[in-house]
Amino acid sequence: MSKTALVVDDSATMREMVSYTLKQAGFEPLTGGNGQEALDKLTGQAVDLIITDLNMPVMDGLSFIKAVRARDEYKFVPILMLTTESQADMKAQGKAAGATGWLVKPFNPEMLLQVIGKVVPK
Amino acid sequence: MSDNPVSPSHEAADAAQVEAIAKYLESSRDMIERLQALREGVHDTLNEQFQIVAMDLEQLRGLLGDAASKLSTTFRVITTGTSEMQTALDEAMTSHETDPLIRIREITSNMTSTTGSTIQSLQFEDMASQLLAHVNRRLSALQQFSKEMSILNAGSNHLPPFLTQEELDAAFASLARHRDLLQNDVRKAVQQQSLDSGDIELF
Query: Do B120 and A109 count as a contact with CB atoms less than 8 A apart?
Result: yes
Minimal Cα–Cα distance from B72 to chain A, Å? 18
> Helix (H, G, I), strand (E, B), or coil: what is residue B170?
helix
Q: ipTM of this predicted complex?
A: 0.84
Using a CB–CB cutoff of 8 Å, tell me whether A23 touches chain B.
Answer: no
Reduce the DSSP state of residue A80 to 3 states and report it: strand
Residues of A in contact with B129 (CB under 8 A): 11
Across the interface, do A20 and B119 touch by the CB < 8 Å criterion? yes
Model confidence pLDDT, tens digit, residues B45-71: 888 888 888 888 888 878 887 887 788
With a cut of 50, which residues of chain A have pLDDT below it? none
CA distance B39 to B17: 32
The distance from CA A81 to its chain's CA centroid, rounded to whole angstroms, is: 6
A92–chain B Cβ distance below 8 A for any pair: no
Q: Does A108 touch chain B (CB under 8 A)?
A: yes
Distance CA A71, CA A114 (A): 27
Among candidates A11, A84, A106 on the partner chain, residue whose Cβ is nearest the Cβ of B120: A106
Q: What is the strand order of the sheet A3-8 is part of?
A: A27-32, A3-8, A49-52, A79-83, A101-104, B200-202
Most B CBs within 10 Å: which of A10, A17, A90, A111, as the mutation test of the B interface? A17
pTM of the model: 0.74
Of residues B126, B192, B197, nearest to A108 (C-beta): B197
How many CB atoms neighbour CB A120 within 10 A?
A: 17
- Largest interatomic CA distance in chain A: 39
Asked if A39 contacts A15 with a C-beta cutoff of 8 angstroms, the reply is no
**For residues A55 and B48, what is the distance between their CA atoms, to the nearest angstrom?**
26
Answer yes or no: do B198 and A109 touch at CB < 8 A.
no
Backbone φ and ψ for A5, nearest 5 degrees, come out as -130, 145
- CA R_g for chain A: 13
Helices (H), A43-119: 61-69, 88-97, 109-119
Angle at A23 between CA B131 and CA B192, to 5 degrees: 20
- Interchain CB distance below 8 Å, B198 and A118: no
Answer for the pair B125, B63: CB distance below 8 angstroms, yes or no. Answer: no
Residue A71, pLDDT score: 92
Q: Measuring CA to CA, which residue among A86, A87, A90, A67 is closest to residue A6? A: A67
Taking a C-beta distance cutoff of 8 angstroms, is the pair A35, B147 a contact?
Answer: no
The alpha-carbon gap from B81 to the nearest alpha carbon of chain A, in Å, equals 20
Q: Please give the helix or strand (H or E) that residue B21 lies within, else none.
A: helix B8-94
Q: Do B120 and A100 touch (CB under 8 A)?
A: no
- Contacts of residue A104, defined as CB under 8 A and 6 or more positions apart, other chains included, come to A83, A84, A85, A86, B192, B198, B199, B200
Inter-chain residue contact A106 with B195, CB threshold 8 Å: yes
Partner-chain contact A84 B121, CB within 8 Å: no
At what angle are helices A35-42 and A61-69 packed, to 10 degrees? Answer: 20
State how far residue A1 is from chain B, nearest Cα, in angstroms.
25
Crossing angle between the packed helical segments A12-24 and A109-119, to the nearest 10 degrees: 60
Instruction: Give the end-to-end CA distance of chain A in Å, rounded to a whole number.
Output: 12
What one-letter code names the amino acid at B83? Answer: S
Tens of pLDDT, residue by residue, chain B (203 residues): 455 566 777 788 788 888 878 777 777 777 777 777 887 888 888 888 888 888 888 888 788 878 877 887 887 788 788 878 888 888 877 877 777 778 888 888 888 888 888 888 888 888 888 888 888 888 888 888 887 777 776 655 555 566 777 888 888 888 888 888 877 767 778 888 877 888 898 99
Q: Give one DSSP letter per residue of A13-27, joined into a string.
A: HHHHHHHHHHHHTTE
